[in-house]
Chain A
């Protein structure tokens, strides 16, 4: 059921996945599957996140030192690797968020002016 209307969902823009992951982790540490679910739910199932694509992104963020990871136990008693935001990651999130806002605002203005 999470896949049946996949075609109607929005594909993620390049580079936005990192931002979404960082944003998701602001509420506390979470494992990969949790992050995927969170993104999907928070976007009202509008965004399509291929779970497999999540992991290279997580790997990348970890290497940059924006998130850290350690193995822990999930709510339903499963071993899982939990990711949490580092101070650097938190700063990066602020920067990326404001950049994103400026970008969308600018694009929005252009699109509106054309319609108008």
Chain B
């Protein structure tokens, strides 16, 4: 089949030889040469036909045509470099941006998690709908029950937390993940060096073995090949390194490099430092599992429901009916992506619209060119080109354009990759997996082809429908598009306006949400406040803990307060736990406590979890939280004084809706650490709600207790005053390490930066959609400019006559503007309807503004129409400057 073909000339020679032989034979029979040759030819039949037949059987005709089309298209593009450059750039921007967003979507939403058989991986979430709590974490006995149930291959948990790595040059704070020994067996990932934990290990507490990350191995141990068996000191305890994880390994959900786990330590969560296992002590904040082979998630869920029902029967006191304990399986991939899905889909939609608008623009350009090339097409058709052939040729041209655009777009993307990754918010899940891989390239190719088809189709179909005779009769320079073509261009224009309007309204709504969030009164004052982290070690043996109780910790805390107060510029000092940093804490930084209310003990065995924030009395004034009723914490609320707490209004409303909360008694049972059943705590004051969890959430119940009555290990030092961003942290670290040189003090942040960073995802969506909307507006403006310019130049003659007959230039101006305005209004009307649908779909991303916000809708529509008028004004001005004499000579 692919053997070398005979050349056509060889075939021709053979035919010639045949005719020669036949002629000679006939001559031998007595015919003259001429007669013989004629007869020979006649008996041969149609020579040309035979040759063509040979040629066609020997060549792939469509390939020939294709090549011809490509060469022709390339020639046409070279002949009009300006047009080609504009079209290619438009498409390049569209394809580049779409591909960039797609690469993020691909990594976060489409790619399976980077573990073997990711479809078997789930998160296990406990819900207590009866007390309005979701995903409260699971308890150790539950974990064991799940493990033994046969529903799962492995059930594991993620403990989280930081630790101090000492023994290195400076005490360093590293990320430690406490996990059961089966964690790596569950994820089915092997270390690059050494071994992982034995999944059957039953050690109740820490087993004193650790695996370290590739990053830490390189950073802290210089890729030491003999690292295995060496000991590292984590919070005063010695651990043996048994393995090094491979470079690409990330815990499920880990995002950027900085927040990746450095050390994995295995624990059974059933012995010190964990409290004795109890059914209602939900100390494992996150549980993951690999379901047994052959089970679907739905099947596993129904078997799990049965298990839950039987456990509820078996332990009625631990699982009271009114709390409605339920266990949910959620695909791990979904948990990891979380609520980013909606934003990403919005971005992909937005960027797709930009690409579409770009396509419409190029289609318009092509149509304008098509009318200039009408004669060429007519001549080719008159010479016998089939309509399908012409359409194919024009489509080849547009696809070539879009492929070139795609290539340029990808090139831009490659160059801008580093920058783009930088502007992505760090909180984007699976950001580290974003790359330009084959599926992304394939997407770019497909997008280019589809784009080429879309913008090439209208002009191509028109070219095929040309009416030959009038076209050929026309003078070349006066050739105009048919009425039908003008109509198509108007329809394209209206489409473009509508699409742009949808994008701009989306951007407008996001902008208003963002603006509202920026201007929201957060209920605290972040100005001139700096927070620095500090972590007190947690030894595995509680007896060796020198900060083990509030009484032991208090002198240390007071000393820090005293020393920090002497630093230059510092006016106020406070200490709290990480959860006390407004907007600056993650879910794992919270201290969940099981809440028991006096008088309601019996109905709440399975108590709601509340997050208690641990602070020094000076905290409230420093961050500017205002007291509503009662009193704040005071320095006299010491370790041996009666336990007190301050709550916010949301807390008071939730638990004492009809009563004054001040003076009420409650119990906080630490869900993760100490043993329960402390004495009663009295509510002494109620402060105003502050948006400390999220700027978008006005009131989340909060309870504050004194650091002198409730110890905390991860602390934040708060300073207010005229602070020096660069000098103050070092001075503070020096002061703290004068007290205890083993303590790391790190992560200084201005509270204003924390507030800004908490909006980074919203800011990112807003910036992206805003950028796309601006591009769309620009493209729409250029589009209508092109169309109106074209209409004006088409009507130069007519305008000349009107002017010659005495029309005022104002009339001409209005006439032209009216045309543009008509298109813009029609586009805006269609766009408003589409925008209503889109804005409802993105309601979840909005804050403080309704999806039908009339101000945004009207404002954006007016802006679009204004830009359209401006774009029309330039060609309209040209129209009224027409010199009637020149215009009349135009024909």
Residue numbers of A with Cβ under 8 A of B are: 1-3, 31-34, 36-37, 50-53, 55-56, 59-60, 74, 76, 78-81
Contacts and interface: CB of A to CB of B under 8 A. Distances in A.
Contact of B17 (A3, A36, A59, A80): A80
27 contacts: A1-B29, A2-B26, A2-B39, A2-B43, A3-B43, A31-B17, A31-B21, A32-B14, A33-B18, A33-B21, A50-B43, A50-B44, A50-B45, A52-B47, A52-B50, A55-B11, A55-B14, A55-B50, A56-B54, A59-B6, A59-B54, A59-B57, A74-B21, A78-B21, A78-B24, A79-B13, A80-B17
B25 interface: yes
Contacts of A74: 21
Nearest to B17: A80
* A31, A53, A55, A60: residue with the most chain B Cβ atoms closer than 10 Å: A55
A52 B49 CA distance: 9
Contact of A80 (B21, B42, B45, B49): B21
A7 to B, nearest CB: 14
A30 to B, nearest CB: 11
Contacts of B226: none
Contact of A55 (B21, B29, B54): B54
Given A2-B43, A32-B14, A79-B13, 10 more contacts: A3-B39, A3-B43, A34-B21, A36-B18, A50-B44, A52-B46, A52-B50, A53-B50, A56-B50, A80-B14
Contacts of A53: 45, 50
Contacts of A33: 17-18, 21-22, 25
Main secondary structure of the interface of B (DSSP, over half): helix
B147 interface: no
Nearest to B50: A52
B625 interface: no
Interface in B152-180: none
Interface in B43-89: 43-47, 49-50, 53-54, 57
Interface in B1-41: 6, 11, 13-15, 17-18, 20-22, 24-26, 29, 39
Given A33-B21, A80-B21, A55 B43 contact: no
B46 to A, nearest CB: 6
Nearest to B23: A33
Contacts of B13: 79
Contacts of A51: 18, 22, 43-45
A100 to B, nearest CB: 25
**B interface, how many residues as a size bin?**
20 to 34
A52 B45 contact: yes
Contacts of B45: 50-53
Nearest to B58: A59
A36 B14 CA distance: 14
B8 to A, nearest CB: 12
A57 to B, nearest CB: 11
Contacts of A1: 29
B44 A52 contact: yes
The 4 A-B residue pairs with the shortest CB-CB distance, nearest first, are: A52-B45, A33-B21, A51-B44, A52-B50
Contact of B20 (A52, A60, A78): A78
A71 B302 CA distance: 81
A73 to B, nearest CB: 11
A70 to B, nearest CB: 11
Contacts of A36: 18, 22
Contacts of B47: 52
Contacts of A31: 17-18, 21
B14 A81 contact: yes
Contacts of A2: 26, 39, 43
B17 A79 contact: yes
Contacts of B42: 3
A34 B20 CA distance: 12
A74 B11 CA distance: 17
B53 A56 contact: yes
A2 B44 CA distance: 12
A88 to B, nearest CB: 15
Contacts of B22: 33, 36, 51
Contacts of A80: 14, 17-18, 21
B633 to A, nearest CB: 97
Given A1-B29, A32-B18, A80-B21, A56 B43 contact: no
Contact of B24 (A50, A52, A76): A76
Contacts of B6: 59
Nearest to B39: A3
Contacts of B46: 52
Contacts of B53: 56
A55 B57 contact: no
A52 B20 CA distance: 14
Nearest to B40: A51
A31 B29 CA distance: 20
B25 A37 contact: yes
Contacts of A76: 21, 24
A51 B41 CA distance: 9
A53 B29 CA distance: 24
Nearest to A80: B17
B705 to A, nearest CB: 92
Contacts of B18: 31-33, 36, 51, 55, 80
A74 B50 CA distance: 23
A74 B14 CA distance: 12
Nearest to B45: A52
Contacts of A78: 17, 20-21, 24
A74 B45 CA distance: 23
A37 B49 CA distance: 21
A41 to B, nearest CB: 11
A37 B29 CA distance: 14
B557 to A, nearest CB: 94
Interface string B760-793: 0000000000000000000000000000000000
Contacts of B44: 50-52
Contacts of A37: 25
Nearest to B56: A56
Nearest to A6: B43
B113 to A, nearest CB: 54
A3 B17 CA distance: 20
Contacts of B20: 78
A34 B885 CA distance: 78
B714 to A, nearest CB: 81
Nearest to B31: A1
Contacts of A50: 43-45
A74 B287 CA distance: 91
A60 B56 CA distance: 13
* B15, B21, B22, B49: residue with the most chain A Cβ atoms closer than 10 Å: B21
A2 B24 CA distance: 14
Nearest to A40: B43
Contacts of A34: 21
Nearest to A35: B18
A74 to B, nearest CB: 6
A101 B112 CA distance: 65
Interface in B446-505: none
Given A2-B39, A50-B44, A81 B17 contact: yes
A55 B15 contact: yes
Interface in B824-856: none
A37 B47 CA distance: 18
B29 to A, nearest CB: 7
A33 B44 CA distance: 10
A74 B20 CA distance: 11
Interface string B216-239: 000000000000000000000000
A78 B16 CA distance: 11
Nearest to B29: A1
Contacts of B17: 31-33, 78-81
B98 to A, nearest CB: 47
Contacts of A3: 39, 42-43
A44 B195 CA distance: 92
B770 to A, nearest CB: 63
Nearest to A62: B6
